[in-house]
């Protein structure tokens, strides 16, 4: 049999090519450049001018000109995250809600014409997932398995961001999966388990945590603290309704776990979580993983596991140990003296970003551009 290809995307940590990057938000554009998966230009921000297209485009050009002038080598590409909806492969921005001036704007080709560089645009959820697949959670897990002598390796990863929204992205066998409508990984549109008339984002986001805390603590939504403070209350580190705080995160875990379980049935891979709420993972990951490991009930009353693989919480040392250990054994090849290593434990893992959300997005943008340039160049 052929030897399996190396799991994950190519490692660009030693690549000397420079890629100009951008983190586009509703109020500001943050510019930088990456080389060998590290920033080589000090990041700076300019106003995004969200309601004035001409001024906003001038800002983009001025920002990238400044980056190019400061880069240690001439850049080989531009690659960045920009809010959708969009036709990302063609570089067309359709109608981002926080950048209202961008309506059917052919942004990628405009920048290519201006700078003479290939330009790649994606959304932040996709690039977060790709960055974690290239240099974060996926190689971390595979390294742990390798150290333990396990034959198991992972190639697929679902990235989820918990913050203002509930974002997602999918990396499969070293490539970012975008979909035919630039809409792959839009996990926020899965139905909310606890409120079937709403989408999952209404149960797994900053506003969801604040809403549940307010309801349980008897506060108005306007008086509810931000999740960081609610996390402190759940820890007992500051005053407040501790039971309400814990329930707010537990419910987030249940809702997010339900959506992730549905998504992972189609991907069958690792799950990495980033975003501002990820820092409170100790309060929601147990409920999230428990939901993934839950069951359905058949018509005759039997329990049916909702996933084929068992899900593990890699932020718990005992679960990390059990996940890495697996159920390794050697099997005999019939009619031969040869023996084959086999891990009988079907499993997936959930863990927190090993890079940090912003760094993962930047590395994702960098690797995405170089991967496409290398594929276009062909072998050698």
For 154, the domain range is 137-354
Work out whether strand 191-192 and strand 175-177 pair parallel, antiparallel, or are unpaired.
Answer: unpaired
The answer, yes or no, to whether residue 326 has pLDDT greater than 60, is: yes
Do 93 and 178 belong together in one domain? no
Do 186 and 323 belong together in one domain? yes
Per-residue pLDDT tens digits for 187-230: 999 999 999 999 999 999 999 999 999 999 999 999 999 999 99
Do 219 and 263 belong together in one domain? yes
The verdict on residue 376 lying in a domain is no
Do 99 and 197 belong together in one domain? no
In the prediction, which pLDDT does 377 show?
82
Per-residue pLDDT tens digits for 7-53: 545 779 999 999 999 989 888 999 999 999 999 999 999 999 999 99
User: Over the chain, what is the mean pLDDT?
Assistant: 93
In the prediction, which pLDDT does 1 show?
36
**64 touches 70 (CB < 8 A):** no
The C-alpha atoms of residue 187 and residue 190 are separated, in whole angstroms, by 6
In the prediction, which pLDDT does 4 show?
38
Do 272 and 236 belong together in one domain? yes
Across the strands, what pairs with 161? 167, 274
In the prediction, which pLDDT does 171 show?
96
Extended strands (E) in the chain? 18-24, 28-35, 38-47, 77-81, 86-87, 92-93, 105-106, 119-122, 156-162, 166-172, 175-177, 191-192, 195-199, 270-274, 295-297, 303-305, 310-313, 328-332, 339-343, 347-352
Do 46 and 170 belong together in one domain? no
Find the CATH number of the domain harbouring 96.
3.30.420.40
Residue 221 carries which DSSP code? G
The verdict on residue 318 lying in a domain is yes
Do 104 and 146 belong together in one domain? no
Per-residue pLDDT tens digits for 249-260: 999 999 999 999
Do 314 and 283 belong together in one domain? yes
Do 206 and 331 belong together in one domain? yes
Per-residue pLDDT tens digits for 303-318: 999 999 999 999 999 9
**Which three-class secondary structure state does DSSP give residue 46?**
strand
The verdict on residue 243 lying in a domain is yes
In the prediction, which pLDDT does 380 show?
56
Q: How many domains does the chain have?
A: 2
pTM of the model: 0.92
Per-residue pLDDT tens digits for 70-119: 999 999 999 999 998 999 999 999 999 999 999 999 999 999 999 999 99
| Nearest-10 Cα torsion for 325, 317, 292, 359 | -100
In the prediction, which pLDDT does 5 show?
39
């Amino acid at each position: 049999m052929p030897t399996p290809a190396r799991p994950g995307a190519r490692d660009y940590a030693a690549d000397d090519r420079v890629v100009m990057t951008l983190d586009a938000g509703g109020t500001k554009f943050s510019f930088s450049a990456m080389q060998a998966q590290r920033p080589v230009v000090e990041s700076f921000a300019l106003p995004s001018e969200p309601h004035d297209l001409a001024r906003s485009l001038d800002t983009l050009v001025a920002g990238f000109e400044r980056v190019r002038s400061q880069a240690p080598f001439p850049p080989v590409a531009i690659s960045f995250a920009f809010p959708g909806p969009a036709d990302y492969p063609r570089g067309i921005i359709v109608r981002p809600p926080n950048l209202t001036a961008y309506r059917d704007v052919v942004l990628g080709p405009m920048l290519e014409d201006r700078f003479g560089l290939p330009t790649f645009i994606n959304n932040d959820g996709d690039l977060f997932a790709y960055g974690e697949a290239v240099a974060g959670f996926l190689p971390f897990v595979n390294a742990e398995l390798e150290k333990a002598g396990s034959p198991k390796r992972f190639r697929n990863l679902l990235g989820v961001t918990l913050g203002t929204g509930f974002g997602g992205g999918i990396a499969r066998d070293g490539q970012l999966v975008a979909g035919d409508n630039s809409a792959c990984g839009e996990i926020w549109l899965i139905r909310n388990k606890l409120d079937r008339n709403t989408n999952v984002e209404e149960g797994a986001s900053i506003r969801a945590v604040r809403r549940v805390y307010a309801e349980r603590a008897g506060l108005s939504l306007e008086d509810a603290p931000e999740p960081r403070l609610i996390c402190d209350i759940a820890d007992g580190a500051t005053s407040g309704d501790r039971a309400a705080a814990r329930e707010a995160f537990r419910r987030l875990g249940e809702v997010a776990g339900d959506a992730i379980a549905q998504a992972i049935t189609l991907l069958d891979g690792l799950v990495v979580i980033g975003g501002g709420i990820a820092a409170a993972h100790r309060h929601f990951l147990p409920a999230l993983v428990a939901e993934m490991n839950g069951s359905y009930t058949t018509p005759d009353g039997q329990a049916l596991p909702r996933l084929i693989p068992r899900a593990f919480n890699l932020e718990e040392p005992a679960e990390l140990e059990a996940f890495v250990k697996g159920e390794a054994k050697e099997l005999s090849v019939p009619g031969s003296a040869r023996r084959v290593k086999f891990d009988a434990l079907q499993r997936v893992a959930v863990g927190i970003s090993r890079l940090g959300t912003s760094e993962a997005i930047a590395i994702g943008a960098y690797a995405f551009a170089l991967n496409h340039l290398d594929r276009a160049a062909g072998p050698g």
